[in-house]
């Protein structure tokens, strides 16, 4: 086992574990944010750079710091590695820069976006974003389009994380969409519009960290925090049938997979469960779903103890804040 220290807390992990996974083993504020990495999708990570951390000591054998910040989701730990996440001002500054880049073309349309309340970019902007934008050039704009009967694509909101293409590659027999072109003109596109209709395609909606892919059967029905989530299951011949029902009274507004603390699906579900079973009689209710994530869905649970410290001019050190947190 390798020993690794993240923001002063030590843990032991198997060789080959990434820094991000080691941080998840510790949990809490030690975990860097992740917009493209998804532990259930092979090959994910390394695209968005929000998970940057500083390696203050490479290993026990070679304790020199790494010369640049590294993406924690794709960097394996070494024995004796010392990593700084929230304790490094350089990391926080870099993350602010990454968020600013991610928001260059992203519309601030949270008030009308179905993803609001469970959007990772919204959380990231709150925790690491700047208050204003310095971007003055023209922004990319696209019209929302249907890519299949159940999925609406808002390309303006896409951050090109590649998760949806990985779902298509790894869960469906034929991928019919992908990222076209390079650089500033890159976009998600289908070979033939309206062609995504595979039985597991709905999982793209759940893995999309922003509101680029939304559920056509739920659009504009309700803000997500006005719905009540319940764990429920059914006998399904295609998937595990374990889902979350998002209800308004006795009406099922939306069905999604169950997500863990990091917003990742515990299991992928089929389109029949997701889109076609909207009667209470279709499901066995297990009980209310607790939303652990520090998101708007768990109202008043927004928790960003370091927010004030990220503002320029604030002289209080992050180490002091961390010490206070540990003492309290």
Binding site for ligand FES (CB under 6 A): 34-37, 45-51, 71, 73
DSSP states of 195-259 = ----TTTTHHHHH-SSSSEEETTTTTT--GGGSEEEEEE---SSS--EEEEEEETTEEEEEE--B
| Alpha-carbon span 113 to 94, nearest angstrom | 27
Residue from 4, 26, 210, 224 that binds ligand SF4 (CB under 6 A)? 210
Nearer residue to ligand SF4 within complex by CB, 162 or 268:
162
- Angstrom CA distances, 159 to 38, 74, 276, stand at 15, 19, 29
Tell me if 147 contacts ligand SF4 by CB under 6 A: no
Residue 36: what are its φ and ψ, rounded to 5°? -115, -30
Residue from 152, 163, 259, 289 that binds ligand SF4 (CB under 6 A)? 163
Tell me if 224 contacts ligand SF4 by CB under 6 A: no
Piece of 91-99, 155-163, 279-287, 300-308 that binds ligand SF4 (CB under 6 A): 155-163
Residues with Cβ within 8 Å of 146's Cβ and at least 6 positions away in sequence, in order, are: 152, 153, 193, 194, 216
Residue 210 interacts with which of ligand SF4, ligand FES, none, CB < 5 to 8 Å by class: ligand SF4
Nearer residue to ligand FES within complex by CB, 22 or 273:
22
DSSP states of 42-54 = TT--SSS-TTEEE
Tell me which residues in 165-204 interact with ligand SF4 (CB under 6 A).
Answer: 188
Piece of 26-34, 130-138, 161-169, 257-265 that binds ligand SF4 (CB under 6 A): 161-169
- Residue for token digits 């990231």? 124
Residues with Cβ within 8 Å of 139's Cβ and at least 6 positions away in sequence, in order, are: 104, 105, 107, 156
- Shortest spacing between CB 230 and ligand FES, in angstroms: 30
Residue from 22, 164, 232, 297 that binds ligand SF4 (CB under 6 A)? 164
Tell me which residues touch ligand SF4 (CB under 6 A): 158-164, 188, 207-210, 212-213
């Amino acid at each position: 086992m390798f020993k690794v220290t993240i923001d002063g807390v030590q843990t032991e992990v198997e060789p080959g574990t990434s820094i991000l996974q080691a941080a998840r083993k510790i949990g809490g504020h030690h975990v860097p944010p992740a917009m493209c990495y998804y532990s259930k999708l092979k090959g994910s990570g390394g695209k968005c750079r929000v998970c940057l951390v500083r390696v203050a000591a490479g290993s026990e054998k070679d304790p020199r710091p790494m010369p640049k910040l590294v993406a924690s989701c794709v960097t394996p730990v070494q024995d004796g590695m010392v990593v700084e996440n929230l304790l490094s001002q350089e990391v926080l500054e870099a993350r602010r820069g990454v968020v600013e880049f991610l928001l260059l073309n992203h519309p601030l349309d949270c008030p009308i976006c179905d993803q609001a309340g469970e959007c990772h970019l919204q959380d990231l902007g709150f925790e690491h974003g700047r208050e204003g934008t310095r971007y003055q050039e023209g922004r990319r704009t696209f019209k929302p389009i249907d890519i299949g009967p159940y999925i609406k694509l808002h390309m303006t909101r896409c951050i090109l994380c590649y998760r949806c293409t990985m779902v298509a590659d790894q869960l469906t027999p034929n991928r019919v969409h992908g990222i076209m072109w390079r650089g500033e003109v890159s976009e998600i596109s289908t070979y033939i519009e309206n062609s995504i209709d595979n039985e597991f395609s709905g999982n793209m909606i759940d893995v999309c960290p922003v509101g680029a892919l939304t559920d056509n059967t739920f659009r504009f029905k309700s803000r997500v925090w006005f719905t009540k989530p319940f764990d429920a299951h059914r006998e399904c011949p295609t998937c595990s049938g374990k889902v979350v029902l998002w209800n308004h009274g006795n009406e099922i507004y939306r069905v999604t997979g169950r997500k863990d603390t990091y917003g990742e699906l515990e299991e992928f579900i089929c389109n029949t469960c997701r889109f076609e079973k909207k009667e209470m009689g279709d499901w066995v209710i297990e009980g209310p779903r607790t939303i652990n994530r520090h998101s708007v869905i768990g109202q008043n649970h927004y928790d960003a103890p370091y927010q004030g410290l990220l503002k320029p001019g604030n002289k209080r050190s992050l180490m002091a804040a961390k010490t206070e947190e540990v003492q309290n």
